[in-house]
Structure 1
Amino acid sequence: MIEVVYVIRHAFRANWVVNPQTGEYSASMVRTPTGIPTDPPLAAKGVEQSKELAEYLCSLEPPIDRIYSSPFYRCLQTLKPTAERLFKEGKAGGKIRIDRGIGEFFGRADFDHPTPPDVKILNPHFEDLDQNYESIHIPHSKGEFIVELHQRVRNALNHIITALDNDPEQPRAVLLCTHAATMIAAGRVLTGQMPEDPDEDDFQCYTASLSKFVRRSTDPGKSPIGNWDCVVNSETGFLSGGAERGWKFNGEESFIAFPEDPLDGTNSPKL
């Protein structure tokens, strides 16, 4: 069974802008490699962070046995130095699995947000992507309320961990590369510690940081969700610049007014 879940946030990226009235996105100064305005590459600082992160990730115990990533370019670019080194050594399964269930969070809107790149678009930029892996839990095209984000991440992590628990090679540790809001949601989902106020500053998510979750019980009858202890919360000591670009929820982050939770009539997500 999977015993450890490592979660990292992508490194320091370039920016984009959006017109909240029209829903028109545009890249800010840097052309996106995939042509998708919400899919910028890492900034030069982020590239350096990814190299420092790789040195640390390749020394972890237990070592990384499988790698999953959000489909966005910045996440795969962050993983690149780590994956190249591990795969060259015959470690970590040799492939990165792209899973939209751990992808970016966009607030609910009246317009469609840009669709992230698929494997065919990413193949020219990155080697060793799993061509056969399919995402099951996909964010709504018009974005999500916070409760929907947490439920999407819950479903995605349940699927990932259950699949790895049933992997005949019995991997012990998995690495997930994701984004700020999703990293916070992952911490809450794995530990089962959902605050009454989603804006609470609980799980951190600095750029190129690492969080570590250890399984409490390996009883096969116990749900993989809510069965983890956070033993490392967004560590950045291995980065020369330390903790940078922290983030937290601030209201619904949506583009439209919606006074109540869309699923159960309350303002607090349920795990």
Structure 2
Amino acid sequence: MLEIIYIVRHAFRTNWSLDPISGIYTSTTRTPTGIPTDAPLSAHGVEQSKELADFLCNVEPGVDAVYSSPFSRCLQTLRPTTTRLFGQGKGGGKIRVERGLSEFFGRADFLHPTPPSIRQLTPNFENLDENYEPLCEPPLGGEMIRELHERLSNTLNGVITALDDDPRQPKVALICTHAAAIIAAGRVLTGEIPEDFDTDDFQCYTAGVSKFSRKKGNGTVGDWTCELNSDTTFLSGGAERGWHFNGEESFIAFPDPADERQSPKL
């Protein structure tokens, strides 16, 4: 059975802007795939990714499987780590691009940009598992915070089950994703979902590492203990760009604001 999950946030990225009236996104820099929300890492983020690799390539037991959000900033963040691991015959040899780990965009009356596809990513990234079938797809109209938690619950349940059933018996998984997804992942893995989603509990600093260890039970989500909560002690710049929900993530109003923050039944 899978025993340990490391979840990391992508390193420091460049920015994009959104006109909430028109629903038009604009990138401040050229993106790897031409999608405005597919922002690449900044120069600082590239350096963070190298420091992250020094940490992840030396954890014991070592990483057996790697999953990533489809956004380029996550794959860029993983590149120094996977280059070293895969070059040593470790880490599973391929990155499974899971769309259920995608960035969170609030519910809107316009469509958010579609996350990059494998076809768009392969010209820029190596070692992607082109045979992997994603478990979930985030809605292009965005999500309520409750729906994000449900997406992460479904995604992580599928990832854990697949690794448990893998004949290679992987013990350690590495996941790279985004701030909101990390907070939701910590909550669903531990089963510690607050009544108020704005609660400041699980952290998500750029290139920070969270570690979850499985309890003795045979469950999937809800059966893990958090041992590291976005650790950044290995980063020369320390903790940067922390984030938490503030109850205003959606672009449209709801009849009862409390509905947006109501804990899901997972």
What secondary structure, in the 3-state scheme, does the structure 2 residue paired with 1:150 have?
A: helix
Aligned to 1:5: 5
Give yes or no for contact 1:147–1:261 (8 Å, CA) kept in 2.
no
Give yes or no for contact 2:144–2:260 (8 Å, CA) kept in 1.
no
Give yes or no for contact 1:260–1:267 (8 Å, CA) kept in 2.
no
Compute the displacement of 1:252 (Å): 4.1
What secondary structure, in the 3-state scheme, does the structure 2 residue paired with 1:92 have?
A: coil
Matched, 1:140 2:139: yes
Aligned AA (1:254): S
Aligned AA (2:174): L
Aligned to 2:263: 268
Compute the displacement of 1:51 (Å): 0.2
Compute the displacement of 1:245 (Å): 0.3
Compute the displacement of 1:266 (Å): 7.3
TM-score if structure 2 supplies the norm length?
A: 0.97
Deviations 1:69-116 (A, max 9, x none): 000000000000000000000001100000011110000000110001
Compute the displacement of 1:243 (Å): 0.2
Aligned to 2:16: 16
Number of equivalences: 266
- Matches of 1:237 and 1:214, distance apart in 2: 20
Aligned to 1:233: 229
Aligned to 2:58: 59
- Matches of 1:126 and 1:198, distance apart in 2: 35
Superposition RMSD in Å: 1.4
Change in CA separation of 1:140 and 1:215 when aligned onto 2, cut-off 3 Å? same
Deviations 1:111-160 (A, max 9, x none): 11000111111001011000000112111110000000000000000000
Change in CA separation of 1:50 and 1:40 when aligned onto 2, cut-off 3 Å? same
Give yes or no for contact 1:71–1:100 (8 Å, CA) kept in 2.
yes
Aligned AA (2:106): G
- Matches of 2:104 and 2:213, distance apart in 1: 25
Q: Following superposition of structure 1 onto structure 2, how do residues 90-239 of structure 1 map, counting pairs within 5 Å?
A: 90-219=89-218, 223-239=219-235
Aligned AA (1:230): C
Deviations 1:195-223 (A, max 9, x none): 1110000000000000000001243xxx2
- Matches of 2:107 and 2:201, distance apart in 1: 23
TM-score if structure 1 supplies the norm length?
A: 0.95
Matched, 1:35 2:67: no
Aligned AA (1:181): A
Matched, 1:47 2:42: no
Q: Unaligned 5+ residue runs, structure 1? A: none
Change in CA separation of 1:261 and 1:67 when aligned onto 2, cut-off 3 Å? farther
Matched, 1:245 2:241: yes
- Matches of 2:251 and 2:97, distance apart in 1: 27
- Matches of 2:235 and 2:122, distance apart in 1: 29
Give yes or no for contact 2:197–2:261 (8 Å, CA) kept in 1.
no
Runs of 4+ in 1 over 4 A off after TM superposition: none
Aligned to 1:84: 83
- Matches of 2:60 and 2:222, distance apart in 1: 22
Q: Unaligned 5+ residue runs, structure 2? A: none
